[in-house]
Amino acid sequence: MAMCTATAPWKQILLKALESNANTKHSSFFQLATIGSSGKPANRTVVFRGFQAGSDKIQINTDSRSHKIDDIKHCPFAEICWYFTDSWEQFRISGRIDVIDELDSDPVKLQQREKAWFTSSLKSRLQYLGPSPGLPCISEEPSQGSDLDPSTGPVGAFCLLVLDPDQVDYLNLKSNKRMTFTCKGSGNGEKCWISENINP
């Protein structure tokens, strides 16, 4: 019989996978799929920036000028596909993405964006000072690194994406086990996760 829990049972499985695959550098990378205004899917590799404090929401840093922002504004639903090569585990995590940019009116979200900015390396922050991603190169010369004061807050192009999961499909190829975790809203507005074992 399916049980309903407020805490996300898949999160502990994911944290354990991250820990057991920590020796592989690519374990912090996953694919993020979105749907554009044309109705076509778009997929790209992004970096896991951790969970939002006290939640199961997944954080991703990106450039506000990138195509994925247009996709998300057209359709805020997306899916992550994350495969761990050492433990042979796959997580497909779908949900709604919240875009937090410099124009956001919520002071709490702006604080989250600022925290994500300062948590990033200086090298990562410098990327947001470059030309708009996805546009033709104007110069054959590689763009020169700009000076950036480490104490300066987020630049305009820096954007924080927060994915709020509502469905997780977990597959373990070593144990041949597969589970789904589905989020149902409870009467008091809190999350309620239902787990189910399914055929691989």
The domain spanning residue 94 has which CATH number? 2.30.110.10
**Rounded to 10 degrees, what is the CA torsion of 79, 85, 89, 93?**
-10
Residue 137 lies in a domain: no
What pLDDT score was predicted for residue 148?
81
Does 136 reside within a domain? no
Residue 84 counted as domain residue? yes
Is residue 142 assigned to a domain? no
**Residue range 171-193: mean pLDDT, rounded:** 89
Strands (E), the chain: 4-5, 29-35, 41-47, 58-63, 77-84, 89-100, 158-172, 177-185, 191-198
The answer as to whether 106 is a domain residue is yes
Residue 110 included in any domain: yes
The answer to which of 142-146, 158-162, 164-168 has the lowest mean pLDDT is: 142-146
The pLDDT tens digits of the residues spanning 18-60 come to: 999 999 999 999 999 999 999 999 999 999 999 999 999 999 9
Region 155-160: mean pLDDT is: 97
**The pLDDT of residue 147:** 73
- Average pLDDT value for the chain: 92
Q: Please tell me whether the overall predicted TM-score, pTM, comes out greater than 0.75 for this model.
A: yes
Flag whether 140 is in a domain.
Answer: no
